[in-house]
Amino acid sequence: MAAAGRAVSSKVASFILGDDFWRGVVSIAAFLVFWEIGSRSQAWFGFAFPWVSQVPAPTAVLQEMFKLVQEPSFWNSALLSTVRVFEGFFAAMAIGIPLGLAMAVSRTFYGITFPVFEVLRPIPPLAWVPASIIFWPTQELSIAFVTFLGAFFTIVINVIGGAQAIDVRYFQAARSMGSSTWDIFRRIILPGTLPSIVVGATVGVGITWAVVVAAEMISGGGSAGSMGGAAGGGLGFFIWNSYVGGSYTQIVAGMISIGIAGYISSAALRKIGQWMTPWLSEN
C-alpha cells in the first residue's frame, strides 16, 4: 500500500516537474494573456482587434464568477441543467443498451430495426423539439425526450459495435464448457460490450449537455419567439438571459460553468467506466 502511494506521488512529482506540464501551462497562460490584451485593445491601443475586442476580459469574467458562485440562484440553474442531463442520459442508457444488445444478438431483429434507426439518426435532436413539445404534456418531458434522443443514438451504435467485436472464440469456448444461452449473455456479451458502453456513455453525456443547453436557450426565448411557457431556469437559459440583458461577462461566466460541468460529467463517467472494467487498465 505504501509502495503504491510512493509510486503515485513520484508519478505526480515527475509530471509536475516534466516538460509537458510546463509547456501546457505556458500555452494556457499565453492564451489568457492574448485574450486579456485583445479584449482591452480598444482602451489600451486605441484600435480594436477584430473579434476578441468584443469579448469581455478574463479578469472581468473571473470577478463575475466570484460573484456568481455566491448566489444560490446560479446553483439552482446549474442543478436544474444537471438534473435534465441525467434524466435524459439515464433514459437513453436504460433503453439504448438493451436495444443495442438485442440488435447485436439477433440478426432478424437487427434487420428489421436498424434501417429505421439509421433513417432517423441523421435528424438532429433539436429538430425534434417542436414535435416533442406537441406530443408531450409538459415542457420538462419534451426537453427530456430531446435530451434522450441526443444520447440514445450514440449509445446504441457503440453497443452494437462493441458486441459485434467480441471475439467469436469466447462464445465457442463457453459453449464447449456447457454454458447456457443466458450464461453466455451474462458472462460474455455483457462484460465484452462494457468498454464500448463506457465509450458510448462518455460521448453521449457530452452530446446530452449540448442538447440541454440548446433546448434551454430555445425554450427560454429564441429570436423566433418563445416556444410556449416559461421553461425557465437552467444554465442555457441563464446564458441567453445574460445576452438579452446585456451582461456579457455573465455570458462567458455561464459558458465556463457549462464547460466545467460537462467536463466533470465526462470525467466521472470515465472513472466509473474504468472501475467497471478493471481488466482493461492492466498492461
Partner 1 sequence: MVANTRNLTSLALALHRVSLWLKSSRPYLMLIGFAGFLGFWYLSVEVWKLPRFSEMPGPTQVVREWFSKDPTYGLSIFVPEYYMHIWVSTRRILIAFFLATAIGVPLGLFLGWSERFKQFVFPVFELLRPVPPLAWVPLAIVMFRGSETPVIFLTFLASFYATALNTMLGVESIDVSYIRAADCLGATRWQVFRHVIVPGAMPFIFTGLQISVGVAWFSLVAGEMVSGQYGLGYVINTSYTMVRYPTIIIGMVTLGIVGYVTSAAVRLVGDYLMQWRTRELALGGDR
**In this structure, are residues 97 and 154 in contact, taking their beta carbons and an 8 Å threshold?**
no
Q: Does 148 bind partner 1 (CB under 8 A)?
A: no
Residue in 137, 169, 182, 279 binding partner 1, rule: CB under 8 A:
137
Using rule CB under 8 A, residue 24 touches partner 1: yes
Helices (H), the chain: 2-17, 19-39, 41-45, 58-69, 72-105, 107-120, 129-135, 139-164, 168-176, 181-184, 190-221, 235-244, 248-276, 278-281
Q: Contact, 142 vs 136, CB < 8 A?
A: yes
In the complex, the smallest distance separating the C-beta of residue 7 from partner 1, rounded to whole angstroms, is 24
- Are 203 and 185 in contact, with CB atoms under 8 Å apart? no
Instruction: Work out which of 4, 5, 19, 47 binds partner 1, going by CB under 8 A.
Output: 19
**Residue whose C-alpha is closest to residue 141's, from 228, 226, 74:** 228
Check: CB of residue 145 under 8 Å from CB of residue 136.
Answer: yes
Region from 59-67, 176-184, 186-194, 257-265 binding partner 1, contact rule CB under 8 A: 257-265
Helix (H, G, I), strand (E, B) or coil at 17: helix
Q: Can residue 256 be called a binding residue for partner 1 (CB under 8 A)?
A: yes
Other C-beta atoms closer than 10 Å to the C-beta of 215 total 31
| The only residue of 227, 270, 273, 277 in contact with partner 1, by rule CB under 8 A | 227
**Looking at beta carbons only, is 51 or 279 nearer to partner 1?**
51
C-alpha–C-alpha distance, residues 270 and 283, integer Å: 18
Shortest Cβ 145–partner 1 spacing (Å): 12
Contact flag: residue 206 with partner 1 (CB under 8 A):
yes
Per-residue mark of binding to partner 1, 31-70 (x: CB under 8 A): x-------------------xx-xx---------------
User: Rounded to an integer, what distance in angstroms lies between the CA atom of residue 202 and that of residue 155?
Assistant: 9
Residue ranges in 157-176 that form contacts with partner 1 under rule CB under 8 A: none
Contact positions toward partner 1, by CB under 8 A?
Answer: 19-20, 23-28, 31, 51-52, 54-55, 108, 111-116, 119-120, 122-131, 133-137, 206, 209-210, 213-214, 217-218, 222-225, 227, 236, 239-240, 242-243, 248, 251-252, 254-256, 258-260, 262-263, 266
